[in-house]
Amino acid sequence: MGLLNPQNFIYGLSLALLVLIYLRSRSRPTIQVSSVMLFDQAPAPVTSVRQMRTDALFWLEMATLAALTLAIAGLYVMRPRVAGQGRSHALVFDLGAGMSAREGSGTRLDQARREAMEIVGQAPVGDEFSVIGYALEAQVRHPQTANLADLRKALGDLVPMAVPARAAALRAALIRARGASEIDLFADRPPPAAIVADAASTARMNFHLVGSSDSNLAIVSLDPGIPGSTPGRALIRNFSARPQLCELAIDLGDREEFHQTHMLAPREQAVVAFGPIRSAGVLHARILTPDAIEADNDRYAYAPSDRPARALVLSPDAAVRDDIARVLLAVNANFQIETADPAKYLAQAKASGPNARPLELAVMHDCYVPAAGAASTLLIYPPQLAKNLPYAAAIGISVRGTLAGADIGSYEMGEAPPLESLALGATRIVAIPEWMDLIATAAGPGHPSIPLAAIGRAAGGPVGVLAFDVRGHLLLAPDHLDALVLTVDLIKQLTAPRDILIVPTGADVSITATATARVTRPDASIRIVAADKWGRVRIRPLQAGRYVVESGGETTQVFANYYDAAESDLGAKSQAEETTPAEKSAAVSNAQSAGEVQPLVFILIALALLALTIESALLIGHAGGWGMRHV
């Protein structure tokens, strides 16, 4: 016995209302008469001396309201399942990285799969099942079917992803499971109660907790340092409640740069210094000690080349040129930076002659000089050009106005956390081309969302746009650290090698390609992807490791890193961990052997009607006793 919608017990307040009505029963309609002496011989009701009339009518009305309240609250009883009713089930699986944790002979997902197979095996003939998976988003892996072979195949095809399972995805998965009469959720940690309550309002919800606490090690971050000069650092973390040995190896290309074993205290996070490494390249850190989750045992970083690179900073403001030059040196100490006033730049460029080395990066603040001709371009606070002087097609942007102030609305890029709202100064209203990826938006007066930062890879090279002005030492102001983070991220992406991308798992990656691209995943599976009309292919790495994208004779390597503190923390003291194994198994077995929900709504409504009928009969009797024809 239970209640499907306990919150509807609020209707039980009607019982209190009834009591109040009866308490007020003495205040009957009052008639003012010329004299009560005319009513000396009139019969008085027997209730006149009582504060509350708890007679049969009262109890019948109480019973009516109580029955209706219980009906609205969804009172039900469990009854044994009746075979062959053709009910529908939804099997919902958490496919986050936590489900890939190895326990014994298999992973947590294997355990969930086995339990699901048991449910399917015990189900009466005619029952239908659907398979839904969720991690970053929800996906129906197999629609409702009574074909057990198809179902088993769909269950077997489930693979955990190297991404965290999001609550929003779980909600979406349960919404997609709404047509089912019974939902079986398999996850390695308890879902939020509110989400489960929503789903339980329409179907019976069985939660199957899989896995138990296990030790896990993870590489939190990897800083390659500067080849030949600055040591690199790796941050490793022990999520176990016990001390753990952590054997860490760091490779640069095929050559091992570092190999050491550390003893990590329970739940310790340690910084391991290494190097400096000898040359530039892709650095690969690995934890060799066997642990639960493999995805967070590998991490890639790109060590930039130590060769000098030319960078040009153009701005009409000398203070801005100085600030940007400082930021560029912080990003890459090997930059050889030239600064100039855009009005005088062309003359200076002619004077330096045609033999100068090509520019790696041109940063243009509040100006646009197409003749700069750099490999990548960053436009900061781009000016609004006259109609006959548009931005070059390789840049593709257009400026439609200026706002006196704006707030950063949303910003999600790379591994940086989302920024909080930040007030900026003057900001251009920039329209970006479709081949550019929007990184951050801002909101200003009359403009709820305008592009604030964007990056794209055009045929002429990467182009980045920052719409806000950086005058007044904005980039160096401690109160505007988020603006600096946004700028540094953009510069890093612009100066990163074109054929090597380091991204977090789950991020959308855009790669320049010809008609089609051949994508090789970390598990060696291959997929052919068609390029869009801007000559790009988009992939979303859901496995940690190296993706290879080959197109038109060019090869791009995408290294996907996975780390999520919550998902990787298998030893976290969650609600599920606090329940004893006995309780857990009882919950699971209860979910498996539980009978069918039998709502009592019709019985309760019938009882309410019966009570009302009896009350009506009593009232008619009373009316007859008082000599009235009607009540």
Partner 1 sequence: MLAARAFEPEFLRKLDRLALGIKRARTVRAGQRTLGRIQGLGIEPENFKAYAPGDDLRFLDWNTLARLDELMLRTYRADRQVEVTALVDASASMGLPERDDKLGFALAIGASLAYIGMAENDAVRIGAFSMQRGAMKLEATPFHRRRESYLNFRPFVMSVKAGGETRLGAAVDQLLLQRRPAGIVVVISDFLVSESDVEDALKRLVKARHEVKVVHVMGDQESTASYPSGLFRVRDAETGEVRETVLGPKTAAANRRKVEKIAARVREICTTHAITYAQAFGASNLESFMERELPRLGIVQ
Interface residues with partner 1 (CB under 8 A) are 26-45, 48, 626-631
Task: Return d(Cα 269, Cα 247) in angstroms, integer.
Answer: 14
Using the minimum distance from each CB to partner 1, give the nearer residue, 446 or 625. 625
CA-nearest of 467, 465, 434 to 450 is: 467
Strand partners, 274: 232
Q: CA gyration radius for the chain?
A: 35
Using the minimum distance from each CB to partner 1, give the nearer residue, 43 or 121. 43
Nearest distance from C-beta of residue 54 to partner 1, angstroms: 17
For 26, counting Cβ atoms within 10 Å of its Cβ (0-12 exposed, 13-18 middle, 19+ buried), the class is middle
Nearest distance from C-beta of residue 618 to partner 1, angstroms: 14
Using the minimum distance from each CB to partner 1, give the nearer residue, 446 or 627. 627
Using the minimum distance from each CB to partner 1, give the nearer residue, 48 or 388. 48
Task: Return d(Cα 419, Cα 629) in angstroms, integer.
Answer: 76
Nearest distance from C-beta of residue 614 to partner 1, angstroms: 20
**Three-state DSSP class for residue 494:** helix
Using the minimum distance from each CB to partner 1, give the nearer residue, 38 or 149. 38
Nearest distance from C-beta of residue 204 to partner 1, angstroms: 49
Within 8 A by CB and 6+ apart from 138, the residues are: 132, 169, 170, 172, 173, 175, 176
Using the minimum distance from each CB to partner 1, give the nearer residue, 43 or 553. 43
Nearest distance from C-beta of residue 173 to partner 1, angstroms: 59
Using the minimum distance from each CB to partner 1, give the nearer residue, 401 or 624. 624
Task: Return d(Cα 585, Cα 122) in angstroms, integer.
Answer: 17
Using the minimum distance from each CB to partner 1, give the nearer residue, 414 or 621. 621
Nearest distance from C-beta of residue 56 to partner 1, angstroms: 16
Nearest distance from C-beta of residue 62 to partner 1, angstroms: 20
Tell me which long-range contacts 24-28 makes (C-beta under 8 A, separation of at least 24). 25/52, 25/53, 26/51
Using the minimum distance from each CB to partner 1, give the nearer residue, 33 or 582. 33
For 534, counting Cβ atoms within 10 Å of its Cβ (0-12 exposed, 13-18 middle, 19+ buried), the class is middle
Which residues of 445-505 form beta strands (DSSP E)? 447-458, 461-466, 500-504
Nearest distance from C-beta of residue 47 to partner 1, angstroms: 8
The answer to whether the beta carbons of residues 463 and 491 sit under 8 Å apart is: no
Nearest distance from C-beta of residue 615 to partner 1, angstroms: 16
CA-nearest of 498, 596, 626, 475 to 556 is: 498
Whether cis (ω within 30° of 0) applies to the bond prior to 124 is no
